[in-house]
Amino acid sequence: MRATAEQILRPDEVPQACRQLAEDGARLQMAYAWFPEPGEPPEVLYLADRKPHEPFPLLRCRLSSTDQSLPSLATRIPLLGWYEREMMDLCGITFHGHPEPYPLVLHEGARAPIPPLDPRYPGDQLIPFSAEPWQLPPVEGGDVQVLPFGPVRGDVLESAQIVFYYVGEAILHCHPRLFFKHRGMEKRFEGLSPALGVLLAERISGVDSVAHSLAFCQAVETACDCEIPERAKYLRVVLAEMERLYNHLHYLGHLCHTTTLKVGEAQGKLLAEQCKQLNGVFTGSRFLRGLLKPGGLRRDLDLEALPHRLRRLEPEIMTYMQSLETTNSHLDRLITTGHLPQQTAFDEGASGPIKRASGIDRDLRCNHPYAAYDRLAMEIPVRTEGDAHARAQVRMEEINNSISLLLQALDDMPQGPVEAALSAPPGAEGLGWCEGPRGSIYYCVHLDGAGKLARVKVKSASFSNWRVFPFTVHDTNMMDYAINEASFGLTMAGCDR
Amino acid sequence: MPIWTLFGIKRGVATSSWPGREDADVQTGVLGLPRFQPDRCQEHCRACADCCLPGAIGIESGSSGERLTLDYGKCIACQLCTEVCPVDALKKSSDWAFGVRKREDLVWTEALASKPAQELTAKIQSCFGRSLHIRHVDAGSCNGCESELQALNNPYYNLHRLGIFFTPSPRFADLLLVTGSVTYAMREPLLETYNAMPEPRWVMAMGTCAVSGGATAGGYSCAHGLEGILPVDMYVPGCPPNPAAMIHALLVLLNRAAQLVHGGHYAK
The interface predicted TM-score (ipTM) is 0.90
In a domain, B194, yes or no: yes
Of A184-193, A443-452, B20-29, the range with the lowest mean pLDDT is B20-29
Instruction: Please check whether residues B260 and B160 belong to one and the same domain.
Output: yes
Nearest CA to B151 among B166, B132, B137? B166
pLDDT digits (tens, 9 = 90+) for A251-277: 999 999 999 999 999 999 999 999 999
CATH code of the domain covering residue A381: 1.10.645.10
Instruction: Please check whether residues A116 and A206 belong to one and the same domain.
Output: no
Instruction: Please check whether residues B90 and B140 belong to one and the same domain.
Output: no
With H, G, I as helix, E, B as strand and everything else as coil, classify residue B66: strand
Q: What is the dihedral of CA B70, B71, B75, B81, to 10 degrees?
A: 0
pLDDT digits (tens, 9 = 90+) for A132-162: 888 788 888 778 888 888 899 878 889 999 9
In a domain, B19, yes or no: no
No. of helices (H) and no. of strands (E), chain A? 16, 14
In a domain, B109, yes or no: no
Q: What's B105's DSSP letter?
A: G
Nearest residue of A to residue B169, measured between CA atoms: A154
In a domain, A464, yes or no: no
pLDDT value of residue A205: 94
pLDDT value of residue B116: 34
User: Could you tell me the residue range of the domain that residue A59 belongs to?
Assistant: 1-122
**Contact residues, B window 149-208, toward A, CB-based 8 Å cutoff:** 149-151, 153-157, 166, 168, 170, 180-181, 183-186, 188-190, 193
Element (H or E) spanning B185, and its range?
Answer: helix B184-195
Mark yes or no for CB contact A280/B147 under 8 Å.
no
In a domain, A66, yes or no: yes
Instruction: Please check whether residues A117 and A193 belong to one and the same domain.
Output: no
In a domain, A485, yes or no: no
Beta-ladder partners of A292: A297
Smallest Cβ–Cβ distance between A270 and the set B154, B180, B181 belongs to B154
The pLDDT profile of chain B, 268 residues, written as one tens digit per residue, is: 678 888 888 888 888 888 876 666 778 788 888 888 887 888 788 888 888 989 898 888 877 777 788 899 999 999 989 888 888 888 888 888 888 888 888 887 765 443 433 444 555 555 666 678 999 999 999 999 999 999 998 988 888 888 889 998 899 898 999 999 999 999 999 999 999 998 888 899 999 999 999 999 988 999 999 989 999 989 999 999 999 999 999 988 888 888 888 878 887 6
User: Could you tell me the residue range of the domain that residue B139 belongs to?
Assistant: 118-266
B-chain residues near A119 (CB < 8 A)? none
What rounded mean pLDDT belongs to chain A?
91
CA angle B224, B227, B230 (to 5 degrees): 130
Mark yes or no for CB contact A280/B154 under 8 Å.
no
Instruction: Please check whether residues B184 and B87 belong to one and the same domain.
Output: no
CATH code of the domain covering residue B250: 3.40.50.12280
Half-sphere exposure at residue B181, Cβ-oriented, CA atoms within 13 angstroms? 29
- Percentage, residues of chain A above pLDDT 90: 70
In a domain, A128, yes or no: no
pTM of the model: 0.87
Instruction: Please check whether residues B56 and B157 belong to one and the same domain.
Output: no
Interhelix angle A230-258/A388-412, rounded to 10 degrees, is: 150
pLDDT value of residue B21: 67
Instruction: Please check whether residues B224 and B133 belong to one and the same domain.
Output: yes
Q: Which residues lie closer than 8 Å to B212 by C-beta, 6 or more apart?
A: B54, B71, B73, B74, B224, B225, B227, B237
Rounded to an integer, what distance in angstroms lies between the CA atom of residue A139 and that of residue A143?
A: 10
Instruction: Please check whether residues A265 and A404 belong to one and the same domain.
Output: yes
Q: Is B222 near chain A, with CB under 8 Å?
A: yes
CA of B206 vs chain A CAs: smallest distance (Å): 13
Q: How many domains does chain B have?
A: 2
- The mean per-residue pLDDT over the stretch A406-426 comes to 91
Cis? peptide before B200, omega within 30° of 0 = yes
Nearest residue of B to residue A490, measured between CA atoms: B143
β-pairing, B90-91 vs A453-459, is: unpaired
Contact B19, B181 (CB under 8 A): no
CATH code of the domain covering residue A114: 3.30.460.80
In a domain, B18, yes or no: no
Nearest CA to A288 among A401, A365, A208? A208
- The mean per-residue pLDDT over the stretch A183-200 comes to 93
Q: How many domains does chain A have?
A: 2
pLDDT digits (tens, 9 = 90+) for A343-373: 999 999 999 999 999 999 999 999 999 999 9
Last residue of a domain, one of B96, B126, B149: B96
Contact B144, B239 (CB under 8 A): yes
In a domain, A236, yes or no: yes
Residue of B75, B184, B188, B192 to mutate when probing chain A, most A C-beta within 10 A: B184
Instruction: Please check whether residues A232 and A110 belong to one and the same domain.
Output: no
In a domain, B152, yes or no: yes
Last residue of a domain, one of A122, A144, A166: A122
Element (H or E) spanning A441, and its range?
Answer: strand A439-447
Tell me: pLDDT of A98 over 70. Answer: yes
In a domain, B89, yes or no: yes
- The mean per-residue pLDDT over the stretch A277-296 comes to 93
Beta-ladder partners of A455: A446
pLDDT digits (tens, 9 = 90+) for B102-120: 888 888 776 544 343 344 4
No. of helices (H) and no. of strands (E), chain B? 8, 11
Q: Which residues lie closer than 8 Å to B47 by C-beta, 6 or more apart?
A: B81, B84, B85, B86
Mark yes or no for CB contact A285/B30 under 8 Å.
yes
* Confidence class for position A3, pLDDT limits 50, 70, 90: confident
Q: Left if phi > 0, otherwise alpha if psi is -120 to 50, otherwise beta: which for A43?
A: beta
pLDDT value of residue B119: 42
Tell me: pLDDT of A70 over 60. Answer: yes
pLDDT value of residue B113: 41
Residue of B1, B138, B187, B229 to mutate when probing chain A, most A C-beta within 10 A: B138
Contact A438, A494 (CB under 8 A): yes
A-chain residues near B222 (CB < 8 A)? 126, 183-184
Mark yes or no for CB contact A158/B146 under 8 Å.
yes
In a domain, B122, yes or no: yes
- The mean per-residue pLDDT over the stretch A464-487 comes to 92
Please report, for residues A73, A324, A382, A396, the alpha-carbon distance to residue A391 in angstroms, rounded to integers and kept in the order given: 29, 14, 9, 9
Nearest residue of B to residue A107, measured between CA atoms: B185
- The mean per-residue pLDDT over the stretch A6-19 comes to 89
In a domain, A379, yes or no: yes
Instruction: Please check whether residues A104 and A222 belong to one and the same domain.
Output: no
Contact A453, A207 (CB under 8 A): no
Nearest CA to B56 among B169, B208, B177? B208
Rounded to an integer, what distance in angstroms lies between the CA atom of residue A14 and that of residue A24?
A: 15
pLDDT value of residue B125: 56
Instruction: Please check whether residues B247 and B159 belong to one and the same domain.
Output: yes
Instruction: Please check whether residues B89 and B146 belong to one and the same domain.
Output: no
Rounded to an integer, what distance in angstroms lies between the CA atom of residue A446 and that of residue A426?
A: 9
A-chain residues near B156 (CB < 8 A)? 270, 273
